[in-house]
Structure 1
Amino acid sequence: MAAKITKAAVIGSGVMGASIAAHLANVGIPSLLLDIVPASLTPEETAKGLTLEHPAVRNRLATGALSRLSKIKPAPLYDEAFVSRITPGNIEDDLHKIKDVDWVIEVVVENLQVKQELHRKIESHWKPGIIVTSNTSGISINAMVEGCGEEFKRHFLGTHFFNPPRYMKLMEIIPGETTDPAIVKQIAEFSEKTLGKGVVIAKDTPNFVANRIGTYGLLVTLQAMAAKGFTVDEVDAITGPALGRPRSATFRTLDLVGLDTFVHVANNVFEKVEEGDEKVVFEVPQVMKDMVSRGWIGEKSGQGFYKKVKGEKGSEILSLDLTTMEYVKSKKPASASLEAAKAAKGAKEKTKALLGAKDRYSELAWDILKKVLVYSAGKVGEIADSIHDIDRAMKWGFNWELGPFETWDAIGLVRTAERMESEGETLPDWVKEWIAAGNQSFYQKTNGTTFYLHKGQYTAIEQRPEIISLRNLKEQNKVVRSNSGASLIDVGDGVVCLEFHSPNNAIGADILTMIQQSVDEVRQNYDALIIANEGRHFCVGANLMLLLMEAQDGEWDEVDNIIHMFQQSMLKLKHFEKPVVAAPHSMTLGGGVEACMPADQIVAHAETYYGLVEVGVGLIPAGGGCKEIALRASLANPNPEVDLQPYINQMFMNVGTAKVSTSAEDARKLGYFRPHDRVVANQDHLVYEAKQSALALVRGGYQPAQQSKIRVIGADGKAVLKLGAQDMKYAGYISDHDLLIASKLAHVMAGGDLPAGTMVTEQYMLDLEREAFLSLCGEVKTQQRMQHMLAKGKALRN
């Protein structure tokens, strides 16, 4: 067996195959991308005088797939340059090259015969030790390799990536009857650690786990909708966030997936299950068949259950009236149950509120939910070994906030089970036996450890060292200090974690106070500090509401105090005598970036969207962001003869246009990350990896950053920056107020009006930041931008 996976081959260059190759490239795994040889020439190839034997023709499908990667949205690659890690080819000429890879992934059409023939070809070039997997959404893993050798079968299994592979967390791994357990373990570990996936081991059954339950849920929703006369808009209002599901709910999800794809998945179960209630559910409704026959298959065809059209006031969304098959203006439903769910906090409370209101919407939600819960319970042991695996599959594969069994616990297992039976539902025996034994839930939590029902008893969820849960640590009384905005948590081995938990993790006085207290605490009692949290976003910036209120009231001393406190808190982190590691994830904006910049090292999740965006609300970075940019340029170029202007120009453009990275690797490309900053694929491992980096700094004899003088580009450099901004104004890209902000930003980033090459202190740069920030706060147009951002959640151009 291969010791580790360092090179792969992907066979099949459709959107899924190319996107899998792209994600391998994202994590540094080079791959071959192979497809069939075209049977005919294109007009362009004919015009060039090419023949069917020309390599450009023979590799056309794979080469074309790679060229299209940059056009796919959302982007499959962290950085478009990573496409160079993928080598295109074709099956006839290049299949023999798989002997040099560690993992072959077959991603061809969902047709058993085609897959069987291809695996026999693969086996003819295969050598022992190479792992071969099929990316299939439901075809039998065992059937694919019928007729292949036993040794080949030992190395063969299913790896079901969810689409898009870069972003979807779930990886279903499906062992065959004779797959070597060691290979299953190897692929699972690689998928989790290197690819960043959440792994569920599935049984070799139709559609495996997530698609089996997800498809069932969508079909029973359609049936309940038709029976009770609900509209597309009403169903989506009920089956979205109100039920702990994504905003795409039911019909937007179907449009995104594609109705043709969904019909194929549903038919896969329909054709393979025995006659009975389950087969009836999986028969695709006639209305959906009609839509597919018309070509109304969702976003890829321009219309499905929804259709975007241009109206008098711009684009508007129409929804399909399933009784007339005509598109009508989309309407946002309102009801007591929907309002109750909207007001509730968290998926558990939202679901309870939706079901508890007792109107027609709550009745539909119950009719759908009870069917899904009973069905999920009936599939335990058949599609996956445990309720925990099924819950994780639905959360990771369909972005449900709660899995089916977590949902059942949330709404009251015993009470709702009784109601289900009273309404004619047949519960699995194991559920009835569990309740009869006096149990009130499928899960329970004790001292930070979660237990789940497995084989008739509560079993602890494995506590793995690489997954550090701050929530669990808090339940285990590991909080060292805490206030309304942040907590300091002992994560072991002399390391503590500063966790933000204010609304949206916005930085206010409470977080800044905790930063200063954390430095004092670590100085006396710990070896290192990490900054991480488990919020949806790491930090969206400073507390804008507080800032706006003070500015509108003319409390300039208070605004000045806030900025001064922010700057001094960051300076404390910057020059702390013990290591500081920041672990950003998801949205890390404005003040969130400035909270990371003083750290000795950044350990970022791969999906980190990072940028200094203050100009979007009419301001400039003033928590040390501009100072850090100038400092990094100066430290990286100690030779006074080296021109700093190009780097400052790039960062001026980044900040001046509020540019946000599209990934952690893009943040590195934009100049925000340093060479020693790290990227982690799996967000669940982020706290652990940050801790390991902090400990490595401790073991390496850490020396704190010294106060450094900063070489600035001065008045001459400032003129260059302002000239660039003026050109953008003349071209109509920015407004007069944008130009004012850019001028202030240029003044700060250049170090003011000093001669080029002047050496200044960090405090000098911070004073420039604060002065510019205060002056912009007094601008009416800046206050309008701040107000608009708070009210609308997007930038105002004024």
Structure 2
Amino acid sequence: MPNFIVKKVAVLGAGVMGAQIAAHCVNAKVPVVLFDLPAKEGPKNGIVLKAIENLKKLNPAPLGDKDDAALIEVANYEDNLDVLAGCDLIIEAIAERMDWKHDLYKKVAPHIAPNAIFASNTSGLSITALSEGFDAGLKERFCGVHFFNPPRYMHLVELIPTAATRSDILDQLEGFLTTTLGKGVVHAKDTPNFIANRVGIFGMLATIYQAEQFGLSVDVVDDLTGKKLGRASSGTFRTADVVGLDTMAHVIKTMQDNLQDDPFFAVYKTPEVLAKLVAAGTLGSKSGAGFYKKVGKDILRLDFASGEYVPGGAKADDLVGRILKEKDPVKKMKSLRESTNKQAQFLWSIFRDAFHYIAIHGATIADNARDIDFAMRWGFGWNVGPFETWQASGWQQVATWVKEDIDAGKALCATPLPAWVFEGPVADKGGVHTSEGSWSISRSTFVPRSNLAVYDRQAFRAPVLGAGAETGATAGVTFFEDDSVRIWHQNDDVLILSFKTKMHVIGPGVVAGMEKAIAEAEKNFKGLVIWHADAAEGGAFSAGADLQAMLPLFMSGGVKAIEPAVSQLQNAHQALKYANIPVVAAVAGLALGGGCELMMHAAKRVAALESYIGLVEVGVGLVPGGGGLKEAAVRAAKDAKGTDLLQFLKNYFTNAATANVSKSALEAQKMGYLGQDDVIVFNAFELLHVAKVEARAMFDAGYRPPMRKLVPVTGRHGIATIGAQLINMRDGGFISAHDFKLGKMIAEVVCGGDIDNGSMVSEQWLLDMERKAFMELLNHPKTQERIMGMMQTGKPVRN
């Protein structure tokens, strides 16, 4: 397939979605122009300019770096349609009205370049109906491309072709969405609300219906249907509030208008409680109240019976909590089905309704079961998709139970389960996901994963339960493995070090593993990549030093006993920095404290966009002790290139003294934790591939470790200047006395101690200072309070 290079994207419509799609294009360094109507007063592009200003205020932030808002080009439909001729991809994202969309298409169609792809970000209108009126040339380059909100963070994009859409257009778009924008693509059929909203909104309606049947309050339902089920922590009603009750009502209306023949049509009735809230303008989070209302610090919940807001916070029954903790899905489902507890019965009923629904509708909404599972995982934040849950819980047994409930009139509709559920290949294999592929109901065959070239970049694709593919935890050839690390390779010339500790914290086992991995890589490989098997599925790179592992040492030998462990950590990081082969850190998720320090010592970093990086030790009353402050001094000297060193040092000092954590890899670059030549990857599934490519390229270019150089420092002059600012902060009540002490100690280390400005010191000099400060603080009662508080509650203590 020839290269599909997107030189520029146009987004039509500067509403919430359009503006955020434009922002994410800018995150990915794709030039973008954002269109809207000309403003009636003020500057003609006022609507777009206001939308771009708003991007800087939104939380979670749509932009990886707020300053990049300036890179979005502004346009309106009156003066700037000629700009469309230079765009390779045009995404329409205006309000969900067929007539408005058609009017806009008439306006823009003559200006679209002959090879450009035209796509609609509709969340549920018919793509075929939208394409009516296009000439044949544009029809074959038109499709649906449905991003989920917020587009930077939601992995899912649904790609919806019409009968006329060219398959090479879809392949090109899938490659761009996957690598450049970092998305997970599923192909949906052109049916109302496509896959995720169709199944997800049905699930929410069924949940609201069953909650009323079983008399459960919104807070209990959210506790039952959130994290405990392995779904988004917001549960059902809070999710509706966040999405917007008007948006939810609109999606439900699309189902009412277009699915009259659906056996579940009765369920698509707008719930009375939802209709009342929308009519009253109570639209959820954006209007300050919905199913919940925040009053001062209290979160009140809506009481369905009275229509009043009452105190919330009720939780699931302990018994049900225990059932949901059961590791064996077969036992768990059986317990829910057989329990007499009404919360357990409620949970069984919503599982049953979901299984019933996907069995009946799977053929019409998606090509195969895998796309339905991924749509729910990536679009609604479920850990496990509905077909995966059914299969893991015992395909035949669950099917029999669902059939019994349908026969007994307990299900939401009387339509029986289709025959394929009970007979033929699915029944023989015990489910829809197998090593041959996932079941396509419409084609009656198991369909393998897409073999587009873009997926060669994903060493381990998103796994499907029951499909038995290799994962990063088990694949390849193991050189060494224990409880802390696995050192392995994929039969090629790059060694991989993966941590196995919780949150990938760094204890003695990990330090020993690093030493082993470097020795083996220097002997037999071109490079070493530090990468973890859960990198793409929301794992951490490393949450820092393992405080728990230090406790026994501390108990038996006091602070003195810990010093050798700190020395060892510093030495391990120095060994990474001066290894004779390139070490590449493949970073995704949290890289905090020791995790940040480890990454700073690699020869290069390849970071996923969603990387949250920072030296956070002050939160537990410590200063960085694994070389983080030493690296700050080294980097500031490098940045300053002989000019005013203190200016560059202040940035690093402030970030460490305030435990500042980047909200993206782009921000980490600004903070100096990532270098300008480090690589930012948008799809975390491609992290390992890119890191290995970088390691090989460095080796092949004749990699040598850096020479050990002396570092210029600011000494007493720097300490005094930073100290004066700290005194102002303390006296102004911005920081506590202990924070002042921590700030002063950080300043002493990064400035090189009580010596003259411009003195040259060794890295070891700085490391010794860092370690001494770390040890002194460990002895301090206020620090010990912070450490204990963090270990007990997981929250920083301000003392």
Same-fold call, TM cutoff 0.5: yes
After TM superposition, give the deviation of residue 298 of structure 1 in Å: 0.5
CA distance 1:579–1:408, shift in 2 (3 Å)? same
Q: Deviations over 1:573-601 (max 9, x none)?
A: 11110110001111110011011111111
After TM superposition, give the deviation of residue 219 of structure 1 in Å: 0.5
Q: Secondary structure at the match of 2:279?
A: helix
Structure 2 residue identity aligned to 1:141: I
Spell out the pairing of 1:368-387 with structure 2 (5 A cutoff).
368-387=350-369
Q: Secondary structure at the match of 2:83?
A: helix
**Is the Cα contact below 8 Å between 2:476 and 2:490 reproduced in 1?**
no
CA distance 1:341–1:697, shift in 2 (3 Å)? farther
Residues in 1 aligned to 2:587 and 2:336: alpha-carbon distance in whole angstroms = 34
**Is the Cα contact below 8 Å between 2:639 and 2:648 reproduced in 1?**
no
Spell out the pairing of 1:482-497 with structure 2 (5 A cutoff).
482-497=481-496
**Is the Cα contact below 8 Å between 1:172 and 1:202 reproduced in 2?**
yes
Question: What residue number does 1:778 align with?
Answer: 779
Residues in 1 aligned to 2:459 and 2:332: alpha-carbon distance in whole angstroms = 27
After TM superposition, give the deviation of residue 83 of structure 1 in Å: 1.2
Spell out the pairing of 1:78-117 with structure 2 (5 A cutoff).
78-117=64-103
Question: What residue number does 2:317 align with?
Answer: 335
From 542, 549, 557, give the equivalent of 2:545. 542
Question: What residue number does 1:119 align with?
Answer: 105
Residues in 2 aligned to 1:507 and 1:342: alpha-carbon distance in whole angstroms = 31
Question: What residue number does 1:607 align with?
Answer: 610
Structure 2 residue identity aligned to 1:246: A
**Is the Cα contact below 8 Å between 1:352 and 1:410 reproduced in 2?**
no
CA distance 1:276–1:714, shift in 2 (3 Å)? closer
Residues in 2 aligned to 1:91 and 1:694: alpha-carbon distance in whole angstroms = 47
1:415 correspondence with 2:400: no
Aligned residues: 773
Question: Mind listing any 5+ residue stretches in structure 1 that lack a counterpart?
Answer: 46-55
Residues in 2 aligned to 1:452 and 1:568: alpha-carbon distance in whole angstroms = 49
Question: What residue number does 2:174 align with?
Answer: 188
Question: What residue number does 1:622 align with?
Answer: 625
**Is the Cα contact below 8 Å between 2:396 and 2:422 reproduced in 1?**
no
**Two-structure CA RMSD over aligned residues (Å):** 2.0
Spell out the pairing of 1:247-396 with structure 2 (5 A cutoff).
247-310=233-296, 315-341=297-323, 343-344=325-326, 359-396=341-378
Residues in 1 aligned to 2:64 and 2:583: alpha-carbon distance in whole angstroms = 26
1:400 correspondence with 2:382: yes
**Is the Cα contact below 8 Å between 1:209 and 1:384 reproduced in 2?**
yes
Question: What residue number does 2:467 align with?
Answer: none
Residues in 2 aligned to 1:706 and 1:558: alpha-carbon distance in whole angstroms = 33
Residues in 2 aligned to 1:94 and 1:382: alpha-carbon distance in whole angstroms = 40
Q: Secondary structure at the match of 2:607?
A: strand
Structure 2 residue identity aligned to 1:660: V
1:468 correspondence with 2:479: no
Question: What residue number does 2:466 align with?
Answer: none
Q: Deviations over 1:102-153 (max 9, x none)?
A: 1111111100011111111111222311111111000111111211211111
1:700 correspondence with 2:690: no
Residues in 2 aligned to 1:718 and 1:561: alpha-carbon distance in whole angstroms = 28
CA distance 1:484–1:309, shift in 2 (3 Å)? same
Q: Deviations over 1:353-393 (max 9, x none)?
A: 76676522221111001111121122223111010111111
**Is the Cα contact below 8 Å between 2:504 and 2:543 reproduced in 1?**
yes
TM-score with structure 1 length normalisation? 0.93
CA distance 1:2–1:130, shift in 2 (3 Å)? farther
Residues in 2 aligned to 1:525 and 1:361: alpha-carbon distance in whole angstroms = 58
Spell out the pairing of 1:46-65 with structure 2 (5 A cutoff).
56=43, 58-65=44-51
From 587, 595, 605, give the equivalent of 1:592. 595
Residues in 2 aligned to 1:477 and 1:557: alpha-carbon distance in whole angstroms = 41
**Is the Cα contact below 8 Å between 1:244 and 1:350 reproduced in 2?**
no
Q: Deviations over 1:470-491 (max 9, x none)?
A: 9625434522211212211213
**Is the Cα contact below 8 Å between 1:224 and 1:367 reproduced in 2?**
yes
From 152, 156, 160, give the equivalent of 1:170. 156
CA distance 1:476–1:37, shift in 2 (3 Å)? closer
Residues in 1 aligned to 2:56 and 2:681: alpha-carbon distance in whole angstroms = 23
**Is the Cα contact below 8 Å between 2:790 and 2:796 reproduced in 1?**
yes
Q: Secondary structure at the match of 1:585?
A: strand
After TM superposition, give the deviation of residue 793 of structure 1 in Å: 1.8
Residues in 2 aligned to 1:346 and 1:20: alpha-carbon distance in whole angstroms = 40
**Is the Cα contact below 8 Å between 2:749 and 2:766 reproduced in 1?**
yes
Q: Secondary structure at the match of 1:582?
A: strand
After TM superposition, give the deviation of residue 783 of structure 1 in Å: 0.8
Q: Deviations over 1:245-264 (max 9, x none)?
A: 11111001000001110010
**Is the Cα contact below 8 Å between 1:173 and 1:202 reproduced in 2?**
yes
Q: Secondary structure at the match of 2:717?
A: helix
Q: Deviations over 1:15-71 (max 9, x none)?
A: 1111111111111112211111234x3xxx5xxxxxxxxxx1x21111111111111
After TM superposition, give the deviation of residue 571 of structure 1 in Å: 1.1
Question: What residue number does 2:465 align with?
Answer: none
From 208, 213, 235, give the equivalent of 1:227. 213
Q: Deviations over 1:680-726 (max 9, x none)?
A: 00111111111111111111111112222211121211211222211
Between 224-233 and 385-394, the greater mean CA deviation after superposition: 224-233
Residues in 1 aligned to 2:560 and 2:437: alpha-carbon distance in whole angstroms = 53
Between 223-232 and 604-613, the greater mean CA deviation after superposition: 223-232
Residues in 2 aligned to 1:626 and 1:516: alpha-carbon distance in whole angstroms = 22
Between 656-665 and 716-725, the greater mean CA deviation after superposition: 716-725
Q: Secondary structure at the match of 2:364?
A: coil
Structure 1 residue identity aligned to 2:80: D
After TM superposition, give the deviation of residue 342 of structure 1 in Å: 6.0
Question: What residue number does 1:480 align with?
Answer: 479
Between 612-621 and 480-489, the greater mean CA deviation after superposition: 480-489
Structure 1 residue identity aligned to 2:484: G
After TM superposition, give the deviation of residue 199 of structure 1 in Å: 0.4
Question: What residue number does 1:795 align with?
Answer: 796
1:577 correspondence with 2:577: no
Structure 2 residue identity aligned to 1:427: L
Residues in 2 aligned to 1:233 and 1:81: alpha-carbon distance in whole angstroms = 39
Q: Deviations over 1:395-418 (max 9, x none)?
A: 000010011111112211111111
CA distance 1:787–1:598, shift in 2 (3 Å)? same
Residues in 1 aligned to 2:123 and 2:213: alpha-carbon distance in whole angstroms = 30
CA distance 1:459–1:476, shift in 2 (3 Å)? farther
After TM superposition, give the deviation of residue 550 of structure 1 in Å: 4.1
Structure 2 residue identity aligned to 1:466: R
Q: Percent identity over the alignment? A: 37
Question: Mind listing any 5+ residue stretches in structure 2 that lack a counterpart?
Answer: 462-469
Question: What residue number does 1:38 align with?
Answer: 39
From 415, 420, 432, give the equivalent of 1:442. 432
Residues in 1 aligned to 2:458 and 2:159: alpha-carbon distance in whole angstroms = 20
Residues in 1 aligned to 2:571 and 2:331: alpha-carbon distance in whole angstroms = 40
Residues in 1 aligned to 2:760 and 2:334: alpha-carbon distance in whole angstroms = 62
**Is the Cα contact below 8 Å between 1:548 and 1:786 reproduced in 2?**
no
CA distance 1:633–1:737, shift in 2 (3 Å)? same
Q: Secondary structure at the match of 2:354?
A: helix
Question: What residue number does 1:730 align with?
Answer: 731
**Is the Cα contact below 8 Å between 2:585 and 2:605 reproduced in 1?**
yes
Structure 1 residue identity aligned to 2:795: K
After TM superposition, give the deviation of residue 97 of structure 1 in Å: 1.4
Residues in 1 aligned to 2:731 and 2:552: alpha-carbon distance in whole angstroms = 34
